[in-house]
Structure 1
């Protein structure tokens, strides 16, 4: 007969038996660029940083040396 070498705690046992699983992150599509991104996160598209359809940072401009 099989016997466990150590007692499994109630917490560890219940963690294994739970039905709670991690869900996939929700993805939004920007109306301006059509780029898929996470909700409430800024995203880069063609050298520009967008948040809620507005450009925050524009790295496409060339810097004069």
Structure 2
């Protein structure tokens, strides 16, 4: 296992970690009870079936 020879500064570590972000989900319009709601594409079916509330 690799072991660092020197201590990394906090700024260096936090800068590296800050770049790994989850991508923002693409929102689409879904019609539920006559209302238009913007939700992630993967939740549209669940919203229309009433499994989740919007």
> Does the alignment reach a TM-score above 0.5?
no
TM-score using structure 2 length: 0.36
Higher strand share: 1
TM-score using structure 1 length: 0.32
State the structure with bigger RCO (CA 8 A, min sep 6), 1 or 2.
Answer: 2
